Amino acid sequence: MSDSDDATGLEVRGLSVRYGGHLAVDGVNLTAPVGRLTGLIGPNGAGKTSIFNACSGLLRPSDGRVLLFDEDVTRRSPAARARRGLGRTFQRMELFGSMTVAENLTVGREAGLAGSNPLRQLTGGRRERRAVRAAVVEALEVCGINDLADRPAGSLSTGQRRLVELARAYAGDYRLLLLDEPSSGLDRTESERFGQILQSIVAERGIGILLVEHDMVLVMSTCEYLFVVDFGCLIFEGTPAETGASDLVRAAYLGEEEVGELVGSTGHEEAGR
Amino acid sequence: MPFIVIGITSGSLYGLAGLGLVLTYRTSGVFNFAHGALAATSAYLFFTLHVTWGLPWPVAALVVVAGFGSVAGVTLERLARGLASTRQATIVVGTVGLMLLLQGALFRGYGVERRSFSDFLPATTAFRISGVAVSWSELITVAVGVAGFVGLFLFLRRTRLGVAMQAVVAAPDLLAQTGASPTRVRVISWIISSAFAAVTGILIAPGLGLDAVVLSALVVQAFGAVAIGRFSSLPLTYLGGLVIGLLAAIGTKYLSAHPPLNGIPAVVPFLVLIVVMLFTPPRLLPKGAGRQEGAMARVGRLSPRLAMGGTVLGAVGLVALPALVGSRLPAYSTGLVFVVLFLSLSLLTRISGQISLCHAAFAAVGAVTFSQLTASSGWPWPLAIIGAGVVTAPVGALLALTATRLSGIYLALATYGFGLLMENVIFSTWLMFGNHASGLVGRRPEFGPIHANSDTAFYYVLLAVVGVSCAVLVAVQRARLGRFLRALADSPIALSTMGLGLHVTRVLVFSLSAFFAGVAGGLYMSQTTRLGAPSFNSLNSLLYLAVVLAAGAFSGFVTSAFLAAAALVVVPNYLTSVTVEVQSLLFGAAALAAALVADGRVDWSVVGARWSAWAQRTIEGSRELRRRSPVRDRELQAHAAAGGAET
């Protein structure tokens, strides 16, 4: 906390989440700095989404702290966290189905601007309106969905919806994004394109992304650093190569053949060391 | 201590009714507003069999409980199944529609007046406790309640079907895989629930007299019991019934001599309900059926030119109206008043995905404010109308603040409770109607030397107010707030994780809606020139929501308000043979049908888009025109594509 550098991004310390008698997340520590694509992987039911919900404030952790840009936000509302620069997407997509794609993106930007100020919820000034429009155009451009702008979000295919949700989060001008399985339901080409978009967002905007993902190709090719959870505990952290080489991670999650295929020679070299 | 005996007797019945409600709410996810109406229907049927036909009471009771209970149970399960996949607001409207339908049918069959109905159980003293005589009838009533509770409890714990019933709450699909049919289990639960309602109705009718509205309101008592059971626990629900019964009896004993507090016993269940909801974290309340997200089914939007044409045509029609309808003009004027009210309700339910079952109370606040401002304070008419809105808005804000964490059925119940509270406690105080038997006076406007006293002149004043209200609300919808409201209906979770303070948004929309409801109340007062508290009773709030949702199923925001007003006010003026009772029946049926059909079954957006496309082709006709306007053509395709994808 001595140097309050934005680079710290999101920091989770000793986070535990309890559902009744079941401890879903047990003392997890992880960091997602800005300017980096960080991955959070693990088998189904390992507690990834619970960690996400605790980070974004939808869930109250039973123990531990969530720091956002060096500020303790553990007791803050989801909206307050969003206004401090934390955006997210959902595993089960939460688009505004009755609105057009452009309107979805507009709300994505305006929600943060309006916050809890009743007057600003009513309407925005001329300059603000122009800024919102620019942000929407840019988000449409970056995510390559210009052609969908006037379509109702409820009528889109899964792949398109994933892109719209990403674009909406992008338009929100967050410094840190939590993406919950953004590529589930996408085919190989769509997911490749998705990975490229993510990388370009991080490179150009300098924001941080924390990614929960089951698509190992996407994770291994885009993330710079990985956290692996199993049964609510953090069992490994390291670069994709180190992760692929870890026997522990293989046993818990990746399995044999898939890893060899994905990480290739690097993984085996690291393992040999 | 006689009031304790009374309290336990009636409480036992409330508990029994509450058990039925909880049972079906848990197994099917549909909260049955018509539960009390079922009890009322049973009581009337029993009256026919026992009193009119002279059957001995055990036979008559058996026929009603077993016969009517089964028929109602099977029917209700079908209805609940149809409703379960719709929006939460639609489910509320569906069962409210059923309630209105049953009430209307009872009015039609038995007349509106309350009939006395002598106690069929022996009223002789069974025994005495510390000097208080307990009659056989009271003893039997309590015994039936206890037997129902214990029987249900053992049934759920000990029998295979009962265990299956518990399973259907947790995981219907899993249950289906074991070979048991979730549908069959649900049918049984609805039959049990209906039979309990029937028992309650039959046993409670001798005390209350035969009155469809009063007996239907029994469900209100059960709401309190259900709230104490947190919508899930059967023992707590039954206990809750006893608590409600006792509190009401004690309240009646000690408060009946002190108006306005004498209204409190009637709203005890809702006070309990509101307290429980305020202090129970929403995650502890079981989730009902129905989609939370999703604004009203999208109605295919007309092209700007068509919409403009329709608006101009409609406006011209409205301006020319006084020349066409002659002496029926006052009905149209009242219709205009209701347009404002329905716009305000539509803003909440249709745009923002919220529910209000207290709009009549909002209108009452506006009406009283208007009357006071013009009559006592001598404010000019336009200021008084705005004042009516301004005073009502904070009432809406207050409600939004207290109910801020609630949605779906819980929001519906909280607003309904608020409405009943207003009606039973506040209406009769000096703050509102006081004890003016003939109601309060409303003035017509004067603008300088011009008096708009005549019906025709006042019609145009109303038309202007309606025009301004439409313009303001449409503008709000298109502004930033409108986007937030639609987003709120679609996905509140996403909206909150984007940084929007949803509490503020909800307070804003409830205030705005209350403002226009208040304005409508003021206009109503001015139009009728004299109005009393009965014009704003809570049953009206139910009716308004039903009409608005029924009309909203197949028309746009503004159009549906006009349609709803026409259906509620103007059409009945022409059909004088159709009495108020039949209206209740018709509106109930329409609301139920709209809830079942419009939301989900028939995709009106496709119908709308097709109709729009057809109209476009007919009007714009020639290919030439379309070639000149490729943009419009693309829009048309997009509509068709959107509609097609939504099916």
Question: Is B498 in contact with A121 (Cβ distance < 8 A)?
Answer: no
B575 Cβ neighbours under 8 A, 6+ residues apart: none
User: A125: which 2 tokens?
Assistant: 């000034």
Whether the per-residue pLDDT at B429 is higher than 50: the answer is: yes
| CB contact at 8 A, B487 and B494 | yes
Tens digit of each residue's pLDDT (9 = 90 or more) over B553-605: 777 889 999 999 999 899 888 887 767 777 788 888 888 888 887 554 444 44
Task: Tell me which of A98, A151, A174 to substitute to probe the interface with B (most B C-beta atoms closer than 10 Å).
Answer: A98
Question: Is B499 in contact with A82 (Cβ distance < 8 A)?
Answer: yes
User: A103: which 2 tokens?
Assistant: 């309107």
On whether both B277 and B362 belong to a single domain, the answer is: no
Whether the per-residue pLDDT at B54 is higher than 60: the answer is: yes
Rg (CA), chain B: 26
Distance of alpha carbon B459 from alpha carbon B318, whole angstroms? 10
On whether both B611 and B559 belong to a single domain, the answer is: no
Option in A90, A99, A115 nearest B490 (CB): A99
Count of beta carbons in the 10 Å neighbourhood of residue A79: 23
Q: Which of B639, B223, B367, B253 is nearest to A155 (CA)?
A: B639
Residue B120 lies in a domain: yes
On whether both B233 and B279 belong to a single domain, the answer is: yes
Distance of alpha carbon B59 from alpha carbon B55, whole angstroms? 7
Query: Residues A181-204: what's their mean pLDDT?
Result: 88
| Least reliable range by pLDDT among A200-204, A265-269, B316-320 | A265-269
User: B594: which 2 tokens?
Assistant: 């709209």
Tell me the residue length of chain B.
Answer: 647
The residue type of B169 is V
Residue B156 lies in a domain: yes
A5 Cβ neighbours under 8 A, 6+ residues apart: none
In the predicted model, what is the mean pLDDT of chain B? Answer: 84
In chain A, what percentage of residues exceed pLDDT 90?
A: 55
Distance of alpha carbon A167 from alpha carbon A156, whole angstroms? 14
A100: which DSSP letter?
Answer: B
Count of beta carbons in the 10 Å neighbourhood of residue A60: 11
Q: Is the minimum CB–CB distance between B401 and chain A shorter than 8 Å?
A: no
Residue B292 lies in a domain: no
pLDDT for the residue numbered B613: 64
Residue of B nearest to A117 (CA): B504
On whether both B336 and B435 belong to a single domain, the answer is: yes
Question: Is B486 in contact with A150 (Cβ distance < 8 A)?
Answer: no
- Residue ranges of the alpha helices (H) in B209-279? 212-216, 218-228, 234-255, 264-279
Count of beta carbons in the 10 Å neighbourhood of residue B434: 14
| Bridge partners, residue B545, by sequence | none
pLDDT for the residue numbered A127: 92
Tell me the residue length of chain A.
Answer: 273
Q: Which of A178, A187, A254 is nearest to A216 (CA)?
A: A254
Distance of alpha carbon A247 from alpha carbon A256, whole angstroms? 9
Last residue of a domain, one of B536, B566, B596: B566
On whether both B41 and B97 belong to a single domain, the answer is: yes
Question: Is A98 in contact with B490 (Cβ distance < 8 A)?
Answer: yes
Burial of B405 (0-12, 13-18, 19+ CB in 10 A): middle
Whether the per-residue pLDDT at A269 is higher than 70: the answer is: no
| Bridge partners, residue A179, by sequence | A211
User: A158: which 2 tokens?
Assistant: 């899964």
On whether both B277 and B336 belong to a single domain, the answer is: no
Distance of alpha carbon B332 from alpha carbon B337, whole angstroms? 9
pLDDT for the residue numbered B274: 82
A82 Cβ neighbours under 8 A, 6+ residues apart: A56, A111, A112, A172, A174, B496, B497, B498, B499
User: B227: which 2 tokens?
Assistant: 């709230």
User: A253: which 2 tokens?
Assistant: 């999650």
pLDDT for the residue numbered B296: 47
Residue of A nearest to B484 (CA): A107
Domain interval for residue B336: 324-566
Count of beta carbons in the 10 Å neighbourhood of residue B98: 25
- Helix B2-28 vs helix B218-228: angle between axes, to the nearest 10 degrees? 80
Residue linked to tokens 């603008």: B447
Residue B525 lies in a domain: yes
Q: What is the DSSP string of B442-460?
A: -PPPEETTEE--SHHHHHH
Q: Which of B617, B608, B613 is nearest to B555 (CA)?
A: B608
Last residue of a domain, one of B284, B310, B332: B284
Whether the per-residue pLDDT at B272 is higher than 70: the answer is: yes
Q: Is the minimum CB–CB distance between B510 and chain A shorter than 8 Å?
A: no
Residue of A nearest to B502 (CA): A116
- Residue ranges of the alpha helices (H) in B422-498? 455-478, 480-490, 492-496
Tens digit of each residue's pLDDT (9 = 90 or more) over A122-179: 988 899 999 999 999 999 999 989 999 999 998 888 889 999 999 999 999 899 999 9
pLDDT for the residue numbered B523: 96
- In degrees and rounded to multiples of 5, residue B294 shows phi and psi of 100, 110
Sketch the domain layout of chain A as residue ranges. Answer: 91-173
On whether both B196 and B269 belong to a single domain, the answer is: yes
Whether the per-residue pLDDT at B261 is higher than 80: the answer is: no
- For the segment(s) A91-173, the CATH number from 3.40.50.300, 3.40.50.2300, 3.40.605.10, 1.10.287.40 is 3.40.50.300
Whether the per-residue pLDDT at A273 is higher than 50: the answer is: no
On whether both B538 and B638 belong to a single domain, the answer is: no
Distance of alpha carbon A219 from alpha carbon A226, whole angstroms? 9
Task: Tell me which of B293, B472, B493, B500 to substitute to probe the interface with A (most A C-beta atoms closer than 10 Å).
Answer: B500
| Bridge partners, residue B447, by sequence | B450
Distance of alpha carbon B63 from alpha carbon B71, whole angstroms? 11
pLDDT for the residue numbered B172: 76
Residue B246 lies in a domain: yes
pLDDT for the residue numbered B22: 92
* CATH code, domain carrying B263: 1.10.3470
Option in A115, A118, A150 nearest B499 (CB): A115
pTM given for the model: 0.87
Q: Is the minimum CB–CB distance between B633 and chain A shorter than 8 Å?
A: no
The residue type of B447 is F
User: B157: which 2 tokens?
Assistant: 């714990």
On whether both B346 and B476 belong to a single domain, the answer is: yes
In the predicted model, what is the mean pLDDT of chain A? Answer: 86
- The total domain count for chain B is 3
Tens digit of each residue's pLDDT (9 = 90 or more) over B99-128: 989 988 998 888 877 777 777 888 777 788
| CB contact at 8 A, A69 and A158 | no
- In degrees and rounded to multiples of 5, residue B361 shows phi and psi of -70, -40
Last residue of a domain, one of B543, B566, B589: B566
Report the alpha-carbon angle B456-B461-B463, nearest 5.
90
On whether both B266 and B408 belong to a single domain, the answer is: no
A150: which DSSP letter?
Answer: T
User: A11: which 2 tokens?
Assistant: 């920091």
Q: Which of A82, A72, A76 is nearest to A59 (CA)?
A: A76
Question: Is B497 in contact with A106 (Cβ distance < 8 A)?
Answer: no
| Bridge partners, residue A12, by sequence | A30, A66
Option in B497, B638, B641 nearest A78 (CB): B497
Report the alpha-carbon angle B29-B31-B33, nearest 5.
160
Q: Which of A111, A239, A215, A90 is nearest to A165 (CA)?
A: A90
Residue linked to tokens 């259900």: B226
- Name chain A contacts of B479, Cβ cutoff 8 Å: 122-123
